[in-house]
Structure 1
Amino acid sequence: MKPRKILCLKEMCCVLSENRELRVFNLQNSESADFELPIDVLDIVKGTNSMTLYTLGMKGKYLLVSVLDLKQKTIRKSFPLQSVIKFETVDICLSQSERYLCIRLKVVPEELENIKASSEKRSFSPQYHPNKFVAVDLQQETGGLMPCVRNFSPVPHLGEVICPHMGNSMIINNKDWVRFWDIPTGKCRRRAKDKEQSSNKSNWFENFKDFKGQSKALAQSKDGRTMALGMKNGYVFIFDVTTAYPIGEKLPITKHAAPVRHVVFSTDCRWLASACENNKIKIWNSTTASEIFSTKALGEVQEMIFSIDSRHLIVLSGKQFSRILLYRIHAGDNSRVDK
């Protein structure tokens, strides 16, 4: 079994393999779960109580949403999406309220060209990213799709990454912008609230003309106060969600030597981990935006997560031969990280 994604819950470890097989293990005795699991699973995400698992899989030609109660060892609900969707890749995340399952779809080349043509026809700004986003209401269970579209049009908003913001709103990064998508109303704007600052990077520095690059990775802290952007040019920014200004309002002192592909906050919001395309892993103090640790992983970094107590960073690396790397963070006046 070659793992593609690993989730650590309170008493369980969920492993999704490259061949779409889902397995659940008990962390106490390493035994496999003794209840029926969904098959042909494309992606998984855990709920806030760490005992609920949401999955997106295939059933025939339709995508199928399933909600698992790992404590009761049962599939609580399962329903297909109403529409047949074409895509190259797909992954999921939850809104903070846990009412909506949000789906990121890498569109097929033909649809991408149609979206670009529609944007040009309506005189919209060019769209550079290959992903569109839809949401599914987990309470209604109808399987209807709620797309993220440009205001007053059916044209999808394309972006790179999506993550939860507050309540039923999500954050999507798109070139030089971070957009806030309110799922129930369908509104998609450049600020979290009308009176807040726009999160356009051109407002960040006096010497912005010297700064060029697109955001490739996105994460928000659990308390919703800070957000991290990993850039194509190797920079990692941590900024205040309300003001939209980075910590220090200047370029970070250090950066990655390659495009940043992953960023993730620790559960206690103290640390941020980042990884780039040359497999370099960095850990940052999220309060000061200063780098405290740097190392190179053996193999391509596939995913990173912090343990619930924020003391460990768990890294899944490698494609041909997968490895699970564990780093321990020692907090204090002289913070350090051990492998």
Structure 2
Amino acid sequence: MSVGRLVSVLLLLQSRGRIPAQGIADELGVSVRTAYRDLARLQAAGVPVYAEPGRKGGYQLLDGYRTRLTGMSQGEARALFFAGLPGPAADLGIASEMTAARLKLLAALPAELREEAARTAAVFHLDAPAWYREPEQTPYLTLFVDAVLSGRGVDVRYRRWRAPQEVRRRLLPYGLVLKSGIWYLVAATESRIGTYRVTQVLDAVLSDERFDRPQDFDLGAYWASYLDDFQTRRYTGTATIRLSPRGRQRLPDNLPPEVARAVESTMIAVGDDGWVEAVIPTESTQHACGELLRLGGDVEVLSPVELRQAMADTVGVLARAYGLA
């Protein structure tokens, strides 16, 4: 039996309120049987844990019960200052609350651990947004925070890339995700769960509809699955290219990592000059043309014919623009 795991179960019950045994098992990476066993041991130790039956039931502590745990480790004290990022917290409208919570936690630490946490804060600065991009304006982000936490629907007018570009939706927000400085809303409609870029929301109004987010919905697992599906849908074709030694060196700085990996895994030498031939994934003729032109004369498209022609046409336009035709 792990005493540390029993403490973790107790903290889960204290912080989450009601939680099913399956949720405890998933959170701690153990079997449901082990979770039941740990709950029984807590009860035997005098901790007032009781079960609430029903579809929305689970285990919880008796109202008013709180445990006072000491013994935070040095690593846990360091982790205090990675619990939230100041930029995203400000986006969400909780910067002052996060600062206050960290100060209260810091004040509760023993002196030596307080110093360790302060040292960590002094040597790490986490900046989420990507380079070469202005921070996105998200005027409706705090509204979505309210909707996610209160379980209320939102009526939105949304701009998407395909026609019709402007659509209206009743969304049931399940969560928010920050990816490379860009906020995304994960929400359900009548037919499916979808992902919406917050900056593409043109109007948003809280509705009177109340909803319960499915207990088995895992935001992290959904996002990982969404990314996998995005990559699958993103690349719909392939191209065969020739690449110079300098082109291979410039590849990671100019094209997506998926393309660089494809070159490394498929390339074959085609002469004594260091040029190689490789097969890369492509999104569309227009998109691939724009990306490959970044490599200038260090790349040649062999196939498909449409992409090779698009490259030639673009080079021809450039030549005429500079009086070289």
Which range, TM-score by smaller chain? under 0.3
Taking CA–CA contacts closer than 8 Å with sequence separation of 6 or more, which of the two structures ends up with the larger relative contact order? 2
> Which structure has the highest strand share of the two?
1
> Which structure has the highest helix share of the two?
2
TM score, norm. by length of structure 2: 0.27
TM score, norm. by length of structure 1: 0.27
